[in-house]
Chains A and B, each alone.
Chain A
Amino acid sequence: ETGVTQTPRHLVMGMTNKKSLKCEQHLGHNAMYWYKQSAKKPLELMFVYNFKEQTENNSVPSRFSPECPNSSHLFLHLHTLQPEDSALYLCASSQDDEGDTQYFGPGTRLTVL
Chain B
Amino acid sequence: QKEVEQDPGPLSVPEGAIVSLNCTYSNSAFQYFMWYRQYSRKGPELLMYTYSSGNKEDGRFTAQVDKSSKYISLFIRDSQPSDSATYLCVTASGSARQLTFGSGTQLTVLP
For the side of the interface on B, what is the size category?
20 to 34
Q: Are B8 and A31 in contact (CB under 8 A)?
A: no
Answer yes or no: A68 CB below 8 A from chain B CBs. no
What are 12 A-B contacts with C-beta separation under 8 Å? A40-B8, A42-B4, A42-B100, A42-B104, A48-B97, A92-B43, A98-B94, A98-B96, A100-B92, A101-B49, A102-B99, A104-B44
Answer yes or no: B45 CB below 8 A from chain A CBs. yes
CA distance A40 to B105 in the complex (A): 9
Binding site for B on A (CB under 8 A): 4, 31, 33, 40-43, 45, 48, 55-56, 90, 92, 94, 96-107
CA distance A56 to B34 in the complex (A): 22
Q: B11 to chain A: closest CB distance in Å?
A: 15
Q: Are A56 and B46 in contact (CB under 8 A)?
A: no
Q: Are B34 and A97 in contact (CB under 8 A)?
A: no
A100 in complex: contacting residue of B42, B96, B102, CB < 8 Å: B96
Residues of A within 8 A of B100 (CB): 42
Q: B45's closest neighbor in chain A, by CB?
A: A104
Binding site for A on B (CB under 8 A): 2, 4, 8, 32, 34, 36, 41-46, 49, 88, 92, 94-97, 99-104
Residues of A within 8 A of B97 (CB): 45, 48, 55-56, 97
Residues of B within 8 A of A104 (CB): 36, 43-45
Residues of A within 8 A of B44 (CB): 43, 90, 104
B103 in complex: contacting residue of A40, A94, A96, CB < 8 Å: A40
Question: Given A101-B49, A104-B43, 9 other A-B contacts at CB below 8 A?
Answer: A31-B96, A43-B44, A43-B101, A97-B97, A98-B94, A101-B34, A102-B96, A104-B45, A107-B43
Q: Are A97 and B2 in contact (CB under 8 A)?
A: no
